[in-house]
Amino acid sequence: MRTQLRKIGNSKGVIIPASLLKECGIEGELDLSLEDRYLVLKPVQTKREGWFENYKEDQDDDVWKSVSPESDSDDWEW
């Protein structure tokens, strides 16, 4: 796909078709970088995006199983 640079004030801009933006998952802000003389546009990711994608509820079923109740029976010395 070819497009033209367009003058926008003192800068230049590129019109990106909506279908292409949708396919890339780009809706709002972008991260713009230069890699090997290529401009790279990526959607901005939120700081906590993807944290729970690999979370498994069964991992937390018995968190305290490894703690022995006998460990509390000893008196503490201060």
> Residue ranges per domain, the chain?
14-45
pLDDT digits (tens, 9 = 90+) for 15-70: 999 998 888 888 888 889 999 999 998 888 777 777 777 777 666 666 677 776 66
Residue type, 63: V
What is the helix (H) or strand (E) element at residue 57, kind and residue range? none
- The pLDDT assigned to 1 comes to 82
Provide the whole-model pTM: 0.49
Residue type, 36: D
